[in-house]
Amino acid sequence: MSLLDLAPVVPVVVVDDAATAVPMARALVAGGLPLIEITLRTEAALEAVRRIAAEVPDAVVGAGTVRTADDVTAAVEAGSRFLVSPGTTPGLLAAMLASGVPFLPGVATATEAMTLAERGVRELKFFPAEAAGGVGYLKSLGGPLPDVRFCPTGGITPATAASYLSLPNVACVGGSWLTPADALAQGDYARVEKLAAEAAALRSR
């Protein structure tokens, strides 16, 4: 089974304070979303990955915003069990292939998806989903590229997630709406759990 089949929604989290990481991850898991992507955009990100990997065994924590080979090394050393990137360069792809963990490289065009499929990589992040063409664009890619599965991310909301999930080439969607910055800042993990439970109830087909 693929990582993409663990949950219909992958929470994409920006962690400003590593102290929020463990209770946040517990709330997401309790709500039914075990796959958690911590974006490497903040100083606290790697520490957040370390803490979740050590203290929340039911979570499958990974790193997002992976852009370089050094990011790959740091993310895996911290305990990331998967890697997600916004786009894919040859150097980054080589590092991800060598990492030993599953990864979702970012693409936004048919050519990029075909280039990765040529390398045997057929589970991809479609980013930035809404801005790059949304549901209609992914539906169009499904005709000529039926063997490629996507996790669209970028601009997806609770209101639009279901329409993405209804596509046969969409396995799950990613989004930041599960962990609003104010909820994390206030320690409102009950709100995170509620948002996660609503998202977990979205069915893919």
Ligand X SMILES: O=C(O)C(=O)C[C@H](O)[C@H](O)COP(=O)(O)O
List 145, 154, 165, 195, residue binding ligand X (CB under 6 A): 154
Residue whose C-alpha is closest to residue 151's, from 161, 76, 61: 161
The active-site residue out of 47, 55, 125, 130 is 125
Distance CA 60, CA 55 (A): 11
The verdict on 88 binding ligand X (CB under 6 A) reads no
Position 80 contacts ligand X (CB under 6 A): no
DSSP structural state of residue 3: G
Q: Which stretch binds ligand X (CB under 6 A): 50-58, 95-103, 132-140, 169-177?
A: 169-177
> Is residue 179 a contact residue for ligand X (CB under 6 A)?
no
Looking at the DSSP assignment, which residues form a beta bridge with residue 104?
84
How many residues of this chain interact with ligand X, rule: CB under 6 A?
A: 14
Query: For residue 55, what are its two tokens?
Result: 């203290």
Where are any strands of DSSP class E within 14-122?
35-39, 60-64, 83-84, 103-104, 106-107
| Residue that is written with structure tokens 């320690």 in the block | 187
- Binding mask 27-66 vs ligand X (x if CB under 6 A, - otherwise)? ------------x------------------------xx-
123 noted as active-site residue: no
Euclidean distance between CA atoms 96 and 21, whole angstroms = 25
> Which of these, 100, 94, 72, 98, lies nearest to 84 by C-alpha position?
72
Annotated active-site residue 125? The verdict is: yes
Q: Does 103 bind ligand X (CB under 6 A)?
A: no
Which residue number, 23 or 155, has a Cβ lying nearer to ligand X? 155
When binding is defined by CB under 6 A, the residue of 3, 12, 61, 75 that contacts ligand X is 12
Of residues 88 and 169, the one with the C-beta less far from ligand X: 88
DSSP secondary structure code for residue 6 in this structure: S
Catalytic residues: 37, 125
Chain residues binding ligand X by CB under 6 A are 12, 39, 64-65, 84, 86, 127, 153-156, 174-176
